[in-house]
């Protein structure tokens, strides 16, 4: 995978406002924040999308995300927030290195706006789909 801007931040070639670091994870402020406190949490592993990430990096991210969210809440004073992780260009991923956004949501106008064009679940198709997913998961290493 080609090095991304986040790879350069991890190596220290490009500066960032660091919030947290351990062996597997780095967190820093987003350069174009949606709201004050907008923080990016990334694995040091150079995976492009979440499905390509190792279980070790995923576990390391999962372990620290709640703690980082608590710090963002405490420092911004904003109780509500979105955690966003985009995968692929059509899903609005601009940087091809896995990253979780923590975005404070102070009110309905500021922060992340979400279009949510929900449909309804067809029961017969849902049973088949869930079964396919269970089979796929059972077959995975």
Known catalytic membership, residue 17: no
Given the rule CB under 6 A, which of 24-32, 70-78, 116-124, 131-139 is the region that contacts ligand 5GP? 24-32
Q: How far apart are CA 141 and CA 138, in angstroms?
A: 8
Query: Scanning residues 42 to 71, which ones bind ligand 5GP (CB under 6 A)?
Result: none
Q: Which is nearer to ligand 5GP, 28 or 81 (CB)?
A: 28
Determine the Cα–Cα distance for residues 65 and 53; give it in Å rounded to an integer.
Answer: 16
CA–CA distance, 97 with 34 (Å, rounded to integer) = 19
Stretch that binds ligand 5GP, among 55-63, 67-75, 91-99, 130-138 (CB under 6 A): 91-99
Classify residue 110 as exposed, middle or buried by CB count within 10 Å of its CB (0-12, 13-18, 19+). Answer: middle
Stretches 56-64, 69-77, 89-97, 107-115: which one binds ligand 5GP (CB under 6 A)? 89-97
Can you tell me which of 92, 109, 124, 136 binds ligand 5GP, judged by CB under 6 A? 92
32 binding ligand 5GP? (CB under 6 A): yes
Distance CA 39, CA 108 (A): 19
Strand 18-21 and strand 25-29: pairing? antiparallel
Contacts with ligand 5GP, residue ranges (CB under 6 A):
5, 14, 16, 28-32, 40, 86, 92-95
């Amino acid at each position: 995978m080609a090095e991304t801007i986040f790879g350069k931040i991890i190596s220290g070639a490009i500066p960032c406002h660091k919030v947290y670091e351990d062996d597997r994870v780095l967190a820093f402020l987003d350069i174009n924040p949606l709201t004050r406190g907008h923080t990016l949490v990334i694995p040091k592993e150079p995976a492009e999308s979440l499905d390509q990430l190792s279980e070790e990096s995923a576990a390391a991210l999962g372990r620290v995300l709640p703690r980082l969210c608590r710090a963002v809440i405490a420092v911004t004073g904003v109780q509500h927030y979105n955690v966003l992780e985009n995968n692929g260009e059509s899903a609005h991923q601009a940087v091809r290195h896995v990253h979780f956004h923590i975005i404070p949501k102070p009110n309905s106008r500021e922060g992340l706006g979400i279009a949510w064009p929900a449909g309804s679940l067809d029961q017969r198709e849902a049973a088949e789909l869930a079964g396919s997913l269970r089979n796929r998961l059972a077959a995975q290493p």
